Amino acid sequence: MKKRIVIFEAEGGSDKWLDGHRKDTMPIVKSLKSKGWDAEVLFFRDEWHETIYGYVKDSFDAYISRINPGNLPNGEKIYFDTLRKLSDYGLTGMPHPDAMLNFGAKDALVKLASTDLVPDDTHAYYDIPHFKKTFPISLSYGERVLKQNRGSTGEGIWRIQIADEHTFQPGDTLPLNTKLKCTEAVDNHVEYHTLEAFMTFCEKYIVGDNGMLVDMRFMPRIKEGEIRILLVGDIPIFVVHKKPAEGGDAFSATLFSGAKYTYDDPEKWSDLVSLFLKSLPVISEKLGGFDIPLIWTADFMLDWDENKQDKYVLGEINCSCVGFTSHLDQGIQEKVADEVVKRVESRFA
């Protein structure tokens, strides 16, 4: 064991602070050092991939990935390949790139649809013909949300309502000229389209690397807010309650759209938190058997079960670039360092 950790960051971007790093990166480095470990931060550039691999493989026990793939100018391909090679060589990945892909992709919901965390009528479309054939039937069952896989700002996340004078029976195939009311989560703006025109517009979400559309039931209780748990490994750190702007068609919990955020202690949401912790083994099994991410979030919406009791529905997981800059004074960096040490030491135990 070398007791050395490398942290990868991307150069530049609005998430960086005065020292060029994410504001919560050097605090993690410091915490590791205070525990007698060493840590170094490296910037990843595609053209450096061989040099980075050569330098890192024999000098470090583990890597922490702190890059939003959207911040790499040429996408994540070479970066992820490099991380994969480092993991194959024996370094602990926090997280492994395939864990990032599996946990963070929107179709994680579909993989979890057989659990109590996600409604079982949640589907994914990976090709255009399947989308065009199935979505007109899916919509006959009620209001839906279509989610693109890329981005995390509510862009390409559409609430779809039928705005047609005709009514339909569940199981019908809606005609292509059915009128739809479409609200986008990025800013809650509304557009009216025919089903055919809207599905054609959505083709762009399906094409390209990791393209897909997830089709999920609309959860009306989103107006009571989205509930985000932030975790370090399996330790819940805080809960953010994000309430969409009041009124109209607003359903978005993003800050930009006007949602209000409140930070709570995990104890205030103990039902949800303990449900989630209990589900971790099945979540990691269904998402490919990887270790759970190091710093990550899970977002939930409220629903009712058959007995009219509160029930929580998973909306998405984020794990590729989660930070805790709002809580630096609370020593979360210590918990991160402890978790890192624990994971590496367990490999050598």
Ligand X SMILES: Nc1ncnc2c1ncn2[C@@H]1O[C@H](COP(=O)(O)OP(=O)(O)O)[C@@H](O)[C@H]1O
Tell me which residues touch ligand X (CB under 6 A). Answer: 145, 147, 151-154, 157, 185, 216-219, 222, 226, 244, 251-254, 299, 301, 315-316
Question: Minimum distance from CB of 116 to ligand X (Å)?
Answer: 16
Polymer length in residues for the chain? 349
Nearer to ligand X, 213 or 237 (CB): 213
Q: Give the C-alpha separation, 74 to 6, whole Å.
A: 22
Query: Which residues, in sequence order, are CB contacts of 210 under 8 Å at separation 6+?
Result: 101, 105, 149, 150
Cα Rg of the chain (Å, integer): 21
In the complex with ligand X, the residue whose CB is nearer, 153 or 210, is 153
How far apart are CB 218 and ligand X at their closest, in Å?
5
Nearer to ligand X, 17 or 263 (CB): 263
Q: Where are the alpha helices (DSSP H) in 248-331?
A: 270-286
- Token look-up 């009571």 returns 224
CB of 262 to ligand X, least distance (A): 15
Minimum separation from the CB atom of position 108 to ligand X (A): 11
Q: CA–CA distance from 73 to each of 64, 78, 79, 187 (Å)?
A: 20, 11, 11, 26
Q: How many whole angstroms separate alpha carbon 21 and alpha carbon 328?
A: 14
Q: How far is the CB of 259 from ligand X (least distance, A)?
A: 7
Q: How far is the CB of 251 from ligand X (least distance, A)?
A: 5
Q: Which is nearer to ligand X, 56 or 216 (CB)?
A: 216
Which residue, 134 or 152, has its beta carbon nearer to ligand X?
Answer: 152
Q: Which is nearer to ligand X, 89 or 256 (CB)?
A: 256
CA distance 155 to 135: 20
Strands 38-43 and 4-9: parallel
**Structure tokens belonging to residue 39:** 């840590």
| 216/113 Cα distance (integer angstroms) | 10
Residue (92 or 318) nearer to ligand X, CB: 318
Compute the least distance from the CB of residue 230 to ligand X, in Å. 14
Helix pair 25-34, 332-348: axis angle to 10 deg: 60
**Least distance to ligand X, CB of residue 134, Å:** 17
Question: Quick one: 151 or 281, whose CB is closer to ligand X?
Answer: 151
Distance of alpha carbon 176 from alpha carbon 48, whole angstroms: 50
In the complex, least distance from residue 234 CB atom to ligand X, rounded to whole angstroms: 22
d(CA 260, CA 258): 7
Q: Residue 116 or 299: which CB sits closer to ligand X?
A: 299
Least Cα distance to 81 among 67, 61, 98, 59 occurs for 98
Contacts of 114 (CB under 8 A, 6+ apart): 120, 286
Q: How far apart are CA 241 and CA 226, in angstroms?
A: 6
